[in-house]
Structure 1
Amino acid sequence: MLTLEKDEKAEQVFIHASPEKLRWLASRLEAIAAQAEKSGNAHDHLMTEDWGGHELTNELIGNPESREIINHLVIYGHKIETTGI
């Protein structure tokens, strides 16, 4: 289970996940970071079945503040070169 939820005003995002899915998400973030270091940019899409994916579940777990499911998450990685001044 990996569910993304937002509050009514979309000011907060809540992640609910099983330990297995948290480890899976960490591995996806590591893969995006590695690709961004290699090529400068990387991204990945996580979606519910309603949006054609299988990475996210579409069940509202129900924090008191949660109001809606997020069906599509795009995670971007960017290699930003810093210059000393």
Structure 2
Amino acid sequence: MSDDLLTFELDHDKDQLFIHGDPSGLRRFARLLDRLADKADQGGFPHDHCFTQEWGGNDLSSVSQEDGHECLNHVKIFGWPDARGAKPHQKKSE
């Protein structure tokens, strides 16, 4: 596992997402977002994954920082070239 702190946690109602990170974890996450934004700026459709150690990664911490919260083991982040997002790129049902 990484030595820094980065968690994505859902509250007990699962309607709020909390992100906890120390400076190193937040900077690492910011670099990932910058890379995705750069690729999307170039017209790409980038994505990346963050996993806890339990799910085979070392990107995310798996100890919740708030009582009653549940850590997410997998966070998938997409970049899109414009504000329409995924909508124009989804397969149309027949």
TM-score range, shorter chain: 0.7 to 0.9
Structure 1 gaps of 5+ residues are none
Per-residue deviation, 1:67: 2.0
Distance, in Å, in 1 between the alignment partners of 2:83 and 2:11 is: 35
Tell me the SS of whatever aligns to 2:69: strand
Q: Which residue among 9, 16, 20 is the counterpart of 1:12?
A: 16
**Runs of 4+ that moved beyond 4 A:** none
List per-residue Cα deviations over 1:33-71 (Å, max 9, x = no partner). Answer: 011122421001001011111000100111x5x421111
Identity %: 36
Structure 2 gaps of 5+ residues are 85-94
* TM-score relative to the length of structure 1: 0.84
- Describe how 1:1-85 pairs up with structure 2 within 5 A: 1-62=5-66, 64=67, 66-80=68-82
Richer in strand (by share): 1
Match of 2:91 in 1: none
Distance, in Å, in 2 between the alignment partners of 1:81 and 1:8 is: 31
> RMSD of aligned C-alpha atoms?
1.7
* TM-score relative to the length of structure 2: 0.77
Count, aligned residues: 80
